[in-house]
């Protein structure tokens, strides 16, 4: 079974949250807005997202 890990780091000055696979540090980065990331995290915490 493979685990799904993501790593994020908020860039306060740009309002962008880069997200990448923690198992591939040199891999591609998905940049999302801080507002979208905050909404996503709130959904995860509230268990409002479906299981994958």
What pLDDT is attached to residue 6?
A: 63
What pLDDT is attached to residue 35?
A: 92
* Chain position carrying tokens 């801080």: 34
Are 29 and 14 in contact by the 8 Å Cβ rule? The answer is no
Distance between CA 29 and CA 7 in Å, rounded? 10
The answer to the question of residue 39 being in a domain is yes
What pLDDT is attached to residue 1?
A: 46
What pLDDT is attached to residue 25?
A: 83
What pLDDT is attached to residue 33?
A: 92
The answer to the question of residue 1 being in a domain is no
Element (H, E) at 50: none
How many domains are contained in the chain? 1
Q: Which residues does the chain have with pLDDT short of 70? A: 1-13, 51-52
Distance between CA 35 and CA 22 in Å, rounded? 22
Containing structural domain, residue 24: 6-45
């Amino acid at each position: 079974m493979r685990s799904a890990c993501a790593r994020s780091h908020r860039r306060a000055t740009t309002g962008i949250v880069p997200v990448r696979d923690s198992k591939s540090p040199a891999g591609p980065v998905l940049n999302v807005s801080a507002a979208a990331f905050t909404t996503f995290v709130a959904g995860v915490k509230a268990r409002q997202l479906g299981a994958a």
